[in-house]
Amino acid sequence: MRLLETNAGSKVIRGKDLLFYSVCIESEHPDIFMELSQGRTALWVCLELEHINMLVYKIASMLRLYEPPKTISVLTVDGSPHCIQLHYAVEEAKKISGSSVEVKHFVISNGAVNEVSAQTVKKSRYLGKLEKK
């Protein structure tokens, strides 16, 4: 299911474990997709097609208006300038909604899944701070 076409109060997301993933992962890394989508409602996104602001608003609505999801996992490919925005969008939506939902961030690098912390996601937004010596 496409995240932006899913009703913010849909019964398929209320109180569920969610997986937000980059659409290309389903075809490029089907085994990883199957493993991480197990037991979760999987919702795809393509940030080459959608603006991050639309995504932030949709996720914030999911977190504020109805029974929030139990958890959110984010899965993208590492190194994509588009996909990284999905991690930013979830963290921003969590912040502006005041939600305490547990979020886990995953990236696929060299065919393997790596979990990254929310702190790492935050740091990656501030290139000047990363470059300081």
**For the CA atoms of 5, 34, 122, 49, what is the dihedral angle to 10 degrees?**
-40
Pure H helices in the chain: 25-28, 30-37, 52-64, 84-97, 118-124, 127-131
Tokens for 23, please give them. Answer: 């659409």
Is the model's pLDDT at 31 over the cut of 80? yes
What is the three-class DSSP state of 102?
A: strand
Helices (H) and strands (E) in the chain, counts: 6, 5
Domain of residue 81, CATH code: 3.40.50
Q: How many domains does the chain have?
A: 1
Please give the residue range of the domain that contains residue 24. Answer: 3-131
Q: Residues 51-99: pLDDT tens digits?
A: 999 999 999 999 998 899 999 999 999 999 999 999 999 999 999 999 9
